[in-house]
Amino acid sequence: MIRACFILWSVKVILLSTFIHLANPFRSDVSAQKDFEIHSFFFIPGGAYHGKYSPNAFTRTYCESMNDLLGEDFLVIDGAVSKSAINNVAWALSRGQKPMRKPEKKKKTVIAFKSIMEALHDETSDINIVSSSFGTALTAQVGIMLTDFFITAGKEMPDINLVMGSSMISKDSKLYFKLEELRREGMLTTLIYDELQDPGDNVTGMCGKSRVGAFARGLRMSIVIFHKYKGQPSILNNNPQTGHLHLQRAQSEEKAEKFMEVTLIDYALAGEEIRAKAIEMLKN
């Protein structure tokens, strides 16, 4: 049974590799050269990315700043984000507890995976996936897919860095445990979580350890009749001053600055030259 599963996954890897090569024939194997120079950044936004008032202040500020700093080495993976915020949240609540069994057969994970692979260059030294809210569930699943792909395909693996801010993923879940396991084994280079959570935001970790519990928490956070639930009003309250903290932060440019400070300055994921530019940008 184990051998059959391995053979099946190997066939899937070969098919994915063929698709990527045919779709992008001018970019050769990412392991072909040793002198890597490009830091590739990918952003998976929150569930309301296509909403009436989107992109929100956080997403708009972050994407504009990253475009200015990185140019074509920064890509927003918005094709994997549904136009319905409810659908995106439901997807995260359903798949935010443990690694997916067959992510290569699911639309969102396939779109995100292909978007990343097709954007890589010979000189790519590292893959950085930055995400917020709903996007962190997709980032976690795709991060695991990427490590599986490079290992099974026998390709030299670039550094893979995952950034999960305002995350719906719980640190007590099997999904997060898997990410930590990959980090300890050196398959993931960096896993940024704690530095980008907002104290008091009860969305953090709401996917929990079970799907039933996740949806129960989502319902309880939505229906807040008296006072508050865990210190917050209803998650449906998007008032920029008095609404839910998660939504207040989404309308904050300061959140974008925090993401850049942690990733580009504290961790220097884009290298020293971009680090210096980010410091100068955040001064103004």
Q: What is the DSSP string of 128-154?
A: EEEEETHHHHHHHHHHHHHHHHHHHHT
Question: Per residue in 226-263, pLDDT tens?
Answer: 778 888 989 988 888 889 999 999 999 999 999 999 99
Residue 284's pLDDT is 80
pLDDT, one tens digit per residue, over 122-140 is 888 999 999 999 999 999 9
Which domains, from first to last, does the chain contain? 36-207+253-283 (3.40.50)
| Structure confidence at residue 19 as a pLDDT band (50, 70, 90) | very low
Q: Residue 53 has what pLDDT?
A: 61
Tokens of 269: 């994921």
Band of pLDDT at residue 10, cut at 50, 70 and 90: very low
Which residue, among 103, 52, 42, 39, has the nearest Cα to 78 in the 3D structure? 42
CA distance 164 to 194: 9
**What pLDDT is attached to residue 225?**
75
| pLDDT level of residue 25 (50, 70, 90 thresholds) | very low
Band of residue 52 on the pLDDT scale cut at 50, 70, 90: low
Q: Six-digit token pair at 13?
A: 């890897």
Asked whether residue 24 carries a pLDDT value surpassing 60, the answer given is no
Asked whether the CA dihedral 261, 265, 266, 268 is positive or negative, the reply is: positive
Q: Exposed, middle or buried, 280 (CB in 10 Å: 0-12/13-18/19+)? A: exposed
Q: What is the largest CA-CA distance in the chain?
A: 61
pLDDT tens track for 166-186: 999 999 999 999 999 999 999
Burial 199-210 (b: 16+ CB within 10 A, else e): eebbbbbbbbbe
Give the helix, strand, coil percentages of the chain, each rounded to 5: 50, 10, 40
Could you tell me the pTM of the whole model?
0.86
N-terminal to C-terminal alpha carbon distance within the chain: 59
